[in-house]
Structure 1
Amino acid sequence: MNRRHWPTALAVLAAAILVWYLLYSQALVRELRKDAEVHSRIVVRVYSGLSDPDMEPLATLLGLSGEIQRLRIPIVYADQDGVPAFWVNLPFEAAQGDTADMIRVMKYSDRLARQNPPLTEQGLGTIYFGDPPSVERLRWVPLLQVGALVALLATLASVIRHNVRTERERIWAAMARESAHQMATPLSSLAGWVEILRLPEEDREGMATLPAVAGEMEADLDRLEKVARRFEWIGRPVQTESVDVRTLLRLLERYVRVRLPQLGRGVSLEVDIPEGMPAVQGNAILLEWALENLVKNALDALAGAGGRICIEAEALGERRVEIRVTDDGPGVSATVRTTLFEPGVSTKKGGWGVGLSLARRIVEDVHAGKLRLEPSEKGARFVMQLPAVPEPADAGRLRGRGVGLYGGSA
Structure 2
Amino acid sequence: MFRQYIGWKFVLASIAVLIIVTTIWFVSNLTRKIQDEERKKVATWVEANRELLKSGPDANLNLAVEIVTNNTTIPLILTDKQGRILDSRNLDSLRIAQNPGYLQEQLQAFKKQHPPFAVEAGHQQYNYVYYGDSLILRQIRYYPYIQLGVVTLFIALVLFALSSTNRATQNQVWVGLAKETAHQLGTPLSSMEAWLEILRENEANTMMVTELAKDVDRLKLITDRFSKIGSVPKLEERDVLEQIENMTAYIRKRAPQKVRFSVHSAEKELPVMISPPLFDWVVENLLKNALDAMEGSGHIDINIDNHPTFVTIDISDSGKGIPKMHFEKVFKPGFSTKKRGWGLGLSLAKRIIEEYHKGRLFVKSSEINKGTTFRILLRK
Give TM-score scaled by structure 1 length: 0.55
Quickly say closer, same or farther: Cα 1:146–1:168, change in 2 above 3 A.
same
**Aligned ranges for residues 327-346 of structure 1 at < 5 Å?**
327-337=317-327, 340-341=330-331, 343=333, 345-346=335-336
Query: Once the 2 structures are TM-superposed, how far is the Cα of residue 288 of structure 1 from its aligned partner?
Result: 0.2
CA distance in 2, matches of 1:136, 1:272: 72
Asked if structure 2 preserves the Cα contact closer than 8 Å seen for 1:238 and 1:366, the reply is yes
**Aligned ranges for residues 11-410 of structure 1 at < 5 Å?**
11-49=13-51, 152-169=152-169, 210-260=205-255, 265=256, 267-272=258-263, 276-303=268-295, 306-313=297-304, 316=306, 320-337=310-327, 340-341=330-331, 343=333, 345-348=335-338, 352-375=342-365, 378-387=370-379
Asked if structure 1 preserves the Cα contact closer than 8 Å seen for 2:31 and 2:140, the reply is no
Deviations 1:244-291 (A, max 9, x none): 33542343134323432xxxx464242436683233221111110110
Structure 2 residue runs without a partner (length 5+): 72-133, 189-203
Paired residue type of 1:337: F
Asked if structure 1 preserves the Cα contact closer than 8 Å seen for 2:312 and 2:375, the reply is yes
CA distance in 1, matches of 2:173, 2:324: 27
Quickly say closer, same or farther: Cα 1:276–1:367, change in 2 above 3 A.
same
**Identity across the alignment (%):** 27
Paired residue type of 2:215: D
Aligned residue for 2:115? none
Structure 1 residue runs without a partner (length 5+): 72-133, 189-208, 389-410
Asked if structure 1 preserves the Cα contact closer than 8 Å seen for 2:240 and 2:272, the reply is yes
CA distance in 1, matches of 2:53, 2:239: 103
Deviations 1:77-102 (A, max 9, x none): xxxxxxxxxxxxxxxxxxxxxxxxxx
Query: Once the 2 structures are TM-superposed, how far is the Cα of residue 243 of structure 1 from its aligned partner?
Result: 1.6
Paired residue type of 2:277: I
Quickly say closer, same or farther: Cα 1:224–1:233, change in 2 above 3 A.
same
Deviations 1:81-135 (A, max 9, x none): xxxxxxxxxxxxxxxxxxxxxxxxxxxxxxxxxxxxxxxxxxxxxxxxxxxxx99
Query: Once the 2 structures are TM-superposed, how far is the Cα of residue 387 of structure 1 from its aligned partner?
Result: 4.7
Query: Once the 2 structures are TM-superposed, how far is the Cα of residue 292 of structure 1 from its aligned partner?
Result: 1.0
Secondary structure in structure 2 of the residue aligned to 1:335: helix
Query: Once the 2 structures are TM-superposed, how far is the Cα of residue 153 of structure 1 from its aligned partner?
Result: 3.9
CA distance in 1, matches of 2:322, 2:45: 74
Deviations 1:329-366 (A, max 9, x none): 12222222355445555454676553333333333443
Query: Once the 2 structures are TM-superposed, how far is the Cα of residue 225 of structure 1 from its aligned partner?
Result: 1.9
Asked if structure 2 preserves the Cα contact closer than 8 Å seen for 1:174 and 1:354, the reply is no
CA distance in 1, matches of 2:221, 2:236: 17
Secondary structure in structure 1 of the residue aligned to 2:229: coil
CA distance in 2, matches of 1:379, 1:311: 13
CA distance in 1, matches of 2:258, 2:247: 16
Quickly say closer, same or farther: Cα 1:154–1:373, change in 2 above 3 A.
closer
Asked if structure 2 preserves the Cα contact closer than 8 Å seen for 1:179 and 1:227, the reply is no
Quickly say closer, same or farther: Cα 1:36–1:143, change in 2 above 3 A.
closer
Quickly say closer, same or farther: Cα 1:243–1:53, change in 2 above 3 A.
closer
Aligned residue for 1:100? none
Secondary structure in structure 2 of the residue aligned to 1:383: strand
Asked if structure 1 preserves the Cα contact closer than 8 Å seen for 2:311 and 2:379, the reply is yes
Quickly say closer, same or farther: Cα 1:368–1:267, change in 2 above 3 A.
farther
Quickly say closer, same or farther: Cα 1:271–1:148, change in 2 above 3 A.
closer
Structure with higher Rg: it is 1
Quickly say closer, same or farther: Cα 1:53–1:10, change in 2 above 3 A.
same
- Structure 1, 282-291 or 331-340: larger mean CA deviation: 331-340
RMSD after superposition = 5.1
Aligned residue for 2:87? none
Quickly say closer, same or farther: Cα 1:272–1:296, change in 2 above 3 A.
same
Give TM-score scaled by structure 2 length: 0.58
CA distance in 2, matches of 1:387, 1:161: 30
Paired residue type of 2:261: E
Deviations 1:185-237 (A, max 9, x none): 9x99xxxxxxxxxxxxxxxxxxxx62222222222222222222212222212
Paired residue type of 2:274: G
CA distance in 2, matches of 1:350, 1:171: 22
CA distance in 2, matches of 1:17, 1:148: 9
CA distance in 2, matches of 1:238, 1:309: 29
